[in-house]
Amino acid sequence: MSNEINNRRRRFFGAAVVSVGAMESLLSGLVHAQSAQASEPSAKAGIATSSAVFTDIKQINAGALNMGYAEVGPANGPVVILLHGWPYDIQSYADVAPRLASAGYRVIVPYLRGYGTTRFLSSETVRNGQQSVVAVDIIALMDALKIQKAILGGYDWGARTANIIAALWPERCKAMVSVSGYLIGSQAANAAPLPPKAELAWWYQFYFATERGRLGYEANRHDFAKLIWQLASPKWNFDDATFDRTASAFDNPDHVAVVIHNYRWRLGLAEGEPQYDALEKRLATAPLIAVPTITLEGDANGAPHPEPAAYAKKFSGKYLHRTITGGIGHNLPQEAPKAFADAIIEVASY
């Protein structure tokens, strides 16, 4: 390898080595805690074999928050913003980001409010978790970083947030990859009862609706999160080290308050903030999404999720759905990083 190539990689990516298929790239902010290389899950089960982890976390004031985020890739590359869900964190993308960075993308992976190093700027700010406010946070982050337009990718809370930005601010979203499709909801829609089997799958929402549930999550958030991981990805054989790298993000002082408000708000048991009423009114109409979109679903997603046929017509632009096989569960980017990164690269070409 020539000195010129070596120097270029040092300038762009720092000194941490991450394996991306057969190519080795030097990426700042990423290290391997062990010697295992990133790989796709086996044909029989999603087996966590990578120990890549984001280590260089940046901070920036954005809206109501001082947001923590990881960044890899060339500073002048097209921007990809990757959004995590609950109960997960930015480490879901530790194997996705280097794949995209090696393809020339500037990758931003923020901690959502209530996670990791993200903090509220004021102690007086409501620890609000309603759906629109999380999207407002990401728009504020884009403004703070002077990013006019980005490709968005997400799952769980992150997919919903990407959906909202694509629907309400399409001028800020070039294209989108959304796990489990269209997740925009409303308090009115959530008020309708579901069949008993479906209600059973939402057991934690009912738990969080009680004071006992809030106290229980406060006292046992790590064990609670691990149980959700096991239920939502029943074929993903993650180890303790993989879980622990994410679980530290739940020690955020606002984590419990934001999570509890999110789920209580969904059921109409907690009020949102008035300044977001207009946004929620628009979201309650289930607006179409016109930006180019690829939706993904794991073939072993144990979390409640809609069937692809139920949301296909919500995407009025160029659209493709792909089911990822091999025992892939709810945390699709971490369980199938190559498939997720490939979808980002593909949708960017639309």
Model pLDDT, residue 27: 54
Q: How many domains does the chain have?
A: 1
Cα(343)–Cα(345) distance, integer angstroms? 5
Model pLDDT, residue 44: 40
Q: Are strands 52-54 and 30-32 parallel, antiparallel or unpaired?
A: antiparallel
Residue-range definition of the domain harbouring residue 217: 3-348
Q: Label residue 168 by pLDDT band (50, 70, 90).
A: very high
Angle CA 75–63–189, to nearest 5: 105
Would the pLDDT of 8 be above 50? no
Q: Label residue 12 by pLDDT band (50, 70, 90).
A: very low
Question: Per the structure block, which two tokens stand in for 50?
Answer: 């990578």
Per-residue pLDDT tens over the stretch 29-83? 665 433 333 345 443 444 455 778 999 999 999 999 999 999 999 999 999 999 9
Which residues share a beta bridge with 321? 295
Cα(151)–Cα(142) distance, integer angstroms? 12
Record the pTM.
Answer: 0.89
Would the pLDDT of 292 be above 70? yes
Per-residue pLDDT tens over the stretch 267-290? 999 999 999 999 999 999 999 999
Cα(277)–Cα(270) distance, integer angstroms? 14
What CATH number is attached to the domain comprising 12?
A: 3.40.50.1820
The predicted model gives 253-257 an average pLDDT of 98
Model pLDDT, residue 51: 76
Low-confidence winner among 8-22, 63-77, 331-345 (lowest mean pLDDT): 8-22
Which residues share a beta bridge with 287? none
One-letter amino acid for residue 344 of the chain: I
